[in-house]
A = this chain, B = another copy of it.
C-alpha cells in the first residue's frame, strides 16, 4: 500500500503516530511561515502542515503544488491548535516530513467544490472530475448501499439472483427496442431487453420459486429529462403467492431499505385503489407527504335535490362533467397577483386548463369567491364545509371533463404544496396503489392495450367482464409502489393459465400466429406446469434518487447519457468502419 491510512480516519487518538497518506490537493493556504494543504480522498479530508522554519525546502516544494495534484505524504499526527468541528478529522493535522508528487494535474476546467463553477455540459464532458465532488460521489455511495441492503433483504428471504440474457429477441409490443445485428446469423438481430419479464416468468416455470436481479434494461425512446436509454431495475418474481403476499414481501423490502439506508422507520404503507387515487389525487402516483385531497362538488347534493354547483347560472360549472377542488390551508391571504400566477399555471399548455375558481374563507368565517354572483352565501358556506375549510383557507376549484380536470388539479395540488413547503425531501410517504385497469383504450389505434403488459392477470372476479366484452372495466391484480409522488415500482399477479393467456393476446389484437412467433416459448412453457406466480420491478435509479431526495436520476448514475442518448465524455455513439458494417451484413441508409 502506498498509504498507512486514508484521509478520513485519523482522530485525536492517533496523535504522535507517523502516517503516510495519499490523495488529491483540495486546497492550499500560504500563511507566511506555514503552508496548509487539505488532502482529499474518498474517505475525507486531512489537513497537512508544512513548516518553513523546520522544513524550508519541503515547504517551498509544497507551495508550488497545484489543485488536484496527487500526493503521497508522510508525517506526524498532531493535535490542531484551532480545531475544525465540521470535519471528522478536524482535531488533528499532519506535520509533513516527506512529500512525493505521484502525479501532476492541469488546472481542472471547473472547481472540485460543492458549489462548483462548472456548467452542466462541462461537468458532463469531464464527468470523471465531477465524480470527485463529494455530493456526486455520495450519491453513488448511497446507490451502492441501496443495492447492498436490497440484496441482504432478498437473500434472507431465499430469493436467488439469476442473470438473464442481454442479447434477446425483439418484440413489437411496448417501447422501441435497441437491436444488435448478428454477424453469425445473417440478416438477423438481437434485441436488448426492456425488462427480463419473460425470463423471470420462465424461471418460475422452472421452479426457481423466488428470483431477483438488479439488472440493466434498455429502451430506445425519445428521452425526457428523467429517462435514460439504459436504466437499472430491481426485478423480482415469486411462485405460489397471491397479491397480498407480494405486497407484504416488498413492503418489507421498502421498510428494510428505509431503516438500513436512511435510519428511518416506516410505520406502514397505506393502500388505495387506482380509482381512489384518481378520485382523491387525480394521479396514480400521488404525493402523500401532505393531504390536500380533492373534494368533488359535483356529487354533493343539497337536501333540495339540486347540487352545490349546477343550476345557478354559472355555465362553466353547469356544463362540467366534474367540479372539483382542493383546500390550500392558510392561503386566504393570497394576493391578486398570486392568484393570477396560479391561474396562469393551470392555463399553461402542459396543463391546459381554462381557468380557476377560488373561494377565500375570511377570518370571520364568511366566504368570498370569484363566482360570488352565481352562488349565495349559504352555498359558498356549504362548499367550505365540504372542503373542511377553516378561516384563512383558500379553496381552488376547477371544472370540465373528468379526467382532464383531475389531471390539471393534480398539478395544481403539487404546485400549492411546493409553495407551502409541504414536499420536504427528508420526509417519506409510501403508498400502494392497487387494482389498476387491465386494459386501456388507445383512441389513435382504436384498440385496447395492456396497461402493464400482456402477462398481467385480471382480478378473478372481473374475468366475467372480460368475457362480456366490458374491457375497460376489468381490473387487474396489478400494483404500484409510490413514494413521495414518484412511482418507484410496479408489478402484478401473472397469468399462468394458457387459455387465459391466449385470450389476452386475442384481446390485444395478436393473431395466434403472431402470439406464437413472439411469445411462443412462453406459451409453450405454460403447457408444462406453470405455477401461480407474481412479481414486481423497482426502478433502481429512481428509487435511489428518491432516497437521495433529488429529482433527477442522472445524479445517481455514474456515467449517464444526455437527452440525445449521447455519452459526451466518451463521445458515443460513434461511427464504425465499413469492414465492421460488412461483417454484420448491414449498410448505412442515411436520409439527408
Tell me whether A530 and B140 are in contact in the complex, defined as CB-CB below 8 angstroms, given that A168-B570, A230-B165, A582-B589 are known contacts: no
Tell me whether A42 and B230 are in contact in the complex, defined as CB-CB below 8 angstroms, given that A106-B528, A580-B170 are known contacts: no
Nearest residue (CB) in B for A101 is: B529
Are the C-beta atoms of B574 and A189 separated by less than 8 Å?
yes
Taken together as a complex, chains A and B put the C-alpha atoms of A531 and B570 apart, in Å, by 20
Are the C-beta atoms of B558 and A527 separated by less than 8 Å?
no
Per-position contact with B for A502-539: 1 when CB-CB < 8 Å, else 0? 00000000000000000011000101111110000000
Does A70 interact with chain B (Cβ within 8 Å)?
Answer: yes
Contacts of A581 in B (CB 8 A): 589
User: Which A163-198 residues have C-beta < 8 A from chain B?
Assistant: 163-170, 172, 176-192, 198
Nearest residue (CB) in B for A129 is: B528
Output the residue of A165, A557, A582, A583 with the most chain B CB within 10 A.
A165
Are the C-beta atoms of B2 and A185 separated by less than 8 Å?
no
Does A207 interact with chain B (Cβ within 8 Å)?
Answer: yes
Does A494 interact with chain B (Cβ within 8 Å)?
Answer: no
Are the C-beta atoms of A531 and B575 separated by less than 8 Å?
no
Are the C-beta atoms of B585 and A22 separated by less than 8 Å?
no
Nearest residue (CB) in B for A565 is: B184
Contacts of A497 in B (CB 8 A): 103
User: Which A567-592 residues have C-beta < 8 A from chain B?
Assistant: 567, 569-577, 580-591
Are the C-beta atoms of B129 and A573 separated by less than 8 Å?
no
Surface stretch bound by B, among A82-90, A154-162, A314-322, A328-336: A154-162
Per a CB cutoff under 8 Å, which of B3, B185, B567 touches A565?
A: B185
Taken together as a complex, chains A and B put the C-alpha atoms of A166 and B570 apart, in Å, by 13
Are the C-beta atoms of B1 and A245 separated by less than 8 Å?
yes
Does A43 interact with chain B (Cβ within 8 Å)?
Answer: yes
Q: Copy number in this complex?
A: 2
Taken together as a complex, chains A and B put the C-alpha atoms of A585 and B572 apart, in Å, by 17
Taken together as a complex, chains A and B put the C-alpha atoms of A566 and B182 apart, in Å, by 10
Tell me whether A570 and B169 are in contact in the complex, defined as CB-CB below 8 angstroms, given that A103-B497, A584-B179, A587-B587 are known contacts: yes
Does A41 interact with chain B (Cβ within 8 Å)?
Answer: yes
Contacts of A163 in B (CB 8 A): 216, 232, 557-558
Surface stretch bound by B, among A141-149, A270-278, A384-392, A545-553: A141-149
Is chain A's binding surface mostly helix, strand, loop or mixed? loop
Taken together as a complex, chains A and B put the C-alpha atoms of A239 and B3 apart, in Å, by 10
Q: Please tell me the number of chain A residues within 8 Å of chain B, measured between CB atoms.
A: 125
Are the C-beta atoms of B162 and A532 separated by less than 8 Å?
no
Does A242 interact with chain B (Cβ within 8 Å)?
Answer: yes
Does A414 interact with chain B (Cβ within 8 Å)?
Answer: no
Nearest residue (CB) in B for A43 is: B209
Does A496 interact with chain B (Cβ within 8 Å)?
Answer: yes
Tell me whether A564 and B185 are in contact in the complex, defined as CB-CB below 8 angstroms, given that A128-B205, A166-B230 are known contacts: yes
Does A99 interact with chain B (Cβ within 8 Å)?
Answer: no
Query: How far apart are A129's CB and chain B's nearest CB, in angstroms?
Result: 6
Contacts of A190 in B (CB 8 A): 178, 572-573
Does A116 interact with chain B (Cβ within 8 Å)?
Answer: no
Taken together as a complex, chains A and B put the C-alpha atoms of A92 and B148 apart, in Å, by 38
Does A280 interact with chain B (Cβ within 8 Å)?
Answer: no
Taken together as a complex, chains A and B put the C-alpha atoms of A241 and B188 apart, in Å, by 46
Contacts of A572 in B (CB 8 A): 167-169, 190-191
Per a CB cutoff under 8 Å, which of B1, B161, B561 touches A144?
A: B161
Are the C-beta atoms of B68 and A528 separated by less than 8 Å?
yes
Contacts of A360 in B (CB 8 A): none
Does A229 interact with chain B (Cβ within 8 Å)?
Answer: yes
Tell me whether A131 and B189 are in contact in the complex, defined as CB-CB below 8 angstroms, given that A589-B582, A589-B585 are known contacts: no
Per a CB cutoff under 8 Å, which of B3, B144, B168 touches A240?
A: B3
Are the C-beta atoms of B40 and A2 separated by less than 8 Å?
no
Taken together as a complex, chains A and B put the C-alpha atoms of A585 and B576 apart, in Å, by 14
Does A202 interact with chain B (Cβ within 8 Å)?
Answer: yes
Are the C-beta atoms of B574 and A103 separated by less than 8 Å?
no
Query: How far apart are A1's CB and chain B's nearest CB, in angstroms?
Result: 5
Are the C-beta atoms of A573 and B192 separated by less than 8 Å?
no
Query: How far apart are A525's CB and chain B's nearest CB, in angstroms?
Result: 5
Query: How far apart are A165's CB and chain B's nearest CB, in angstroms?
Result: 5
Does A452 interact with chain B (Cβ within 8 Å)?
Answer: no
Does A464 interact with chain B (Cβ within 8 Å)?
Answer: no
Nearest residue (CB) in B for A216 is: B166
Taken together as a complex, chains A and B put the C-alpha atoms of A497 and B221 apart, in Å, by 40
A contact set with B: CB distance below 8 Å = 1-3, 6, 22-24, 40-43, 68-70, 72, 102-106, 108, 126-129, 131-132, 137, 140-141, 144, 147-148, 151, 155, 160-170, 172, 176-192, 198-199, 202-203, 205-209, 216, 218, 220, 222, 229-230, 232, 239-242, 245, 496-497, 520-521, 525, 527-532, 557-559, 561, 564-567, 569-577, 580-591
5 tightest A-B CB contacts, nearest first: A105-B529, A131-B206, A169-B572, A188-B573, A587-B589
For this complex, 10 residue pairs linking A to B, each with C-beta atoms less than 8 Å apart, are A105-B527, A129-B206, A131-B207, A132-B206, A140-B160, A165-B558, A166-B218, A168-B567, A179-B576, A180-B192
Known: A6-B209, A103-B530, A521-B571. 9 other contacts (CB 8 A): A40-B207, A103-B529, A105-B527, A106-B527, A128-B528, A144-B160, A165-B561, A167-B573, A585-B590
